[in-house]
Amino acid sequence: MRYYSDYFKYVILKACEELGDDEVFDRVCHVQNILPMKRKSTISRWRSQVSKHSNDLREQFDKFVCGQLNSSSFFYHGHIIEYHLILKDFYRQQRDVNELSNLERSVFRKYLNKERLTKSDVRLLRCGALIDRDLKLTNIGRSFSLSTKSLKSQCDAIDIPIEQVHLPYSERPLESIFCDHMSSFQQWYYVENDIWRVFIRDLERMIFDVMRSFYSGVRVSSILGVKAFGFEEIFLDAFTEKVFSDYLYFIRNENRSLDFCFAKNNSYKIQSNITSDVVVQILEGIGFSRMKKILERYANEPLSCVRGWPDLISVSFGVVSLVEIKGKESLTVGQLENFSFIKNLFDGRLVVNKIILK
């Protein structure tokens, strides 16, 4: 359970001064880490709790905003980020992909069936980031609307090719069966969303180092900080071909195996051994311009961009390909949200393989 300090409460209340209690609640009510229990009464209770220390808290807040306190030694930095993200309506635009609540699901079904909605219905859907101010589906709203459909209907809707692959029966995970079957033709690596941890994290740190070195007043060390303080263009400008080249050099000289073990079905596991040389080959296949497009989306949609990546990645003669493995299940909300971007980025080299065991 998260501990809510007086300073954190003050920051939320500061946003309430700017926007009003109702608007702040609407923007963050679905984010458990910000408002526990999702009750509007929490805001009133916090206001009473911090009133005794409000002058000291205001002084700390104003000093940080004016740059008089060093973020590297000031643990309130994250709270200031949350404050700015609330003002930018970030949490409503970038909601998580957890299942809809029963009430959300019921009202969302009314919306999709074009039934009449009450004001409270509209507010619920807007708070959940499912529709925008014009009452049109958001990107994640479209993904939720497709999430209950069949795999074929989903792939048709987002224009992703789907292929049936017949493989011999085994109790092992489908991804493992597919990799073994294809090993004589092409080497595939199971990374799923850990593609981000494998290929992006160290690069991200190098970009932040460049930002702090060459741009005065830039004090961020996370992509949420970039978004909160409006440093998206600086973040992208700091990613140069030299930085990308230095990053490849860094990975190449690590000379270690990136060993991941993914649990499947609570019993079987998939082992994915990716050496530094393979990482470099894949990064070279992605190339500077594609990486810049990935980072551009990352800077603008940091939560959407890191979820819903395909199961398998491969590189052959400098060309990167991706495959999503499915059995009886459909695509997830995150995949529906992300696959069109990934397919276009890699010139259509994303395929969903529906595995049929014989």
Residue 74: predicted pLDDT: 42
Residue where one domain finishes, among candidates 90, 110, 133? 90
pLDDT mean over 275-292: 90
Rounded to two decimals, the pTM is 0.86
Structure tokens belonging to residue 87: 């003002």
Kindly report the average pLDDT of the chain as a whole number.
Answer: 84
The more confidently predicted of residues 147 and 92 is 147
Residues 170, 310: one domain?
yes
pLDDT at residue 68 above 50? no
pLDDT of 71 strictly over 50 = no
Tokens coding 106 = 């019921």
Between 150 and 195, residue with greater pLDDT: 150
Same domain for 286 and 243?
A: yes
Q: Burial letters for 182-208: b for 16+ Cβ neighbours within 10 Å, e otherwise?
A: beeeeebbbbbeebbebbbeebbebbb
272 and 306 housed in the same domain: yes
Specify the range with the lowest mean pLDDT, choosing from 68-72, 87-91, 352-356: 68-72
Residue labelled with tokens 């004001």: 119
- Mean pLDDT confidence for 331-338: 92
Among the ranges 197-206, 213-222, 287-296, which has the highest mean pLDDT value?
287-296
Q: Are residues 156 and 26 in the same domain?
A: no
Shared domain check, 169 and 287: yes
Q: Which domain holds residue 131?
A: 102-146
Taking residues 141-167, what's their average pLDDT? 94
Give a yes or no: residue 97 inside a domain.
Answer: no
What is d(CA 154, CA 67) in angstroms, rounded to the nearest whole number?
49
Q: Cβ contacts of residue 298 below 8 Å, gap of 6+? A: 200, 223, 305, 306
Q: What percent of the chain has pLDDT over 70?
A: 86
The two beta strands, 257-264 and 189-190, are: unpaired
Total count of domains within the chain:
3
- Per-residue confidence (pLDDT) for residue 271, from 0 to 100: 55
